[in-house]
């Protein structure tokens, strides 16, 4: 998404951090299928995104199922009056991120469930290319897409701020803490 050097970045893919690993008390969900609120297959967890400042997993990086990509829905965005510009999913953009607080893990069947997010929402969420750098603008666009029926916790002026409180919201709070 954006270009910035490692010292300015906060989010890293787990494989980029040689000193981080999935802790023994947590499940490594990479390779697990992701299912929506109705039990439909959405894709597979390919990687975990770590907030270095928070020292924990905050997103699952999911390779999206081809059927969702074929639906070719226009990505969700708040009204242009909010200062958000429209965007489209381009060829090769087949990954989405999901905040960890929006998933439940079925440890017995090794499935990641998204009990409050349906297939249409996933098909309308802005996608990225595998391994893209994640900036705050994309993070807030995705969070607003998933929580479109709720009051947004971010005002338009906070959208681009590097607000350290973002990962303290309920969308990022779960017993699944992921890596270290």
Domain assignments of the chain as residue spans, ordered by start: 11-162
Taking CA atoms, 92 is separated from 66, 87, 88, 89, in Å, by: 11, 15, 12, 9
Give the gyration radius of the chain's Cα atoms. Answer: 15
Mean pLDDT of the chain: 79
Task: Please tell me the predicted confidence (pLDDT) of residue 135.
Answer: 86
Q: What is the DSSP letter of 160?
A: T
Location of structure tokens 């890596």? 179
For residue 95, how far is the Cα from the chain centroid? 9
Select 11-162's CATH number: 3.90.1170.50, 3.90.50.10, 1.10.357.10, 3.30.420.40. 3.90.50.10
Handedness of CA 41, 43, 46, 48 (dihedral sign): negative
What residues form DSSP beta bridges with 51? 11, 56
pTM recorded for the entire structure: 0.82
**pLDDT tens-digit readout, 43-70:** 999 999 998 888 888 999 999 999 888 8
């Amino acid at each position: 998404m954006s270009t910035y050097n490692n010292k300015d970045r906060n989010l890293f893919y787990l494989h980029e951090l040689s000193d981080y690993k999935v802790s023994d008390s947590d499940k490594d969900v990479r390779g697990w299928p992701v299912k929506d609120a109705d039990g439909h297959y959405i894709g597979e967890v390919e990687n975990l995104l770590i907030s270095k400042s928070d020292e924990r997993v905050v997103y699952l990086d999911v390779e999206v199922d081809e059927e969702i990509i074929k639906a070719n829905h226009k990505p969700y965005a708040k009204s242009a009056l909010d200062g958000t510009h429209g965007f489209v999913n381009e060829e090769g953009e087949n990954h989405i991120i999901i905040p960890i607080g929006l998933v439940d893990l079925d440890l017995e069947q090794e499935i990641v469930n998204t009990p409050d997010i349906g297939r249409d929402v996933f098909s309308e969420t802005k996608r990225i290319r595998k391994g893209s750098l994640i900036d705050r603008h994309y993070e807030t666009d995705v969070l607003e897409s998933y929580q479109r029926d709720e009051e947004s916790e971010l005002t338009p002026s906070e959208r681009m701020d590097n607000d350290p409180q973002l990962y303290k919201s309920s969308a990022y709070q779960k017993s699944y803490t992921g890596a270290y």
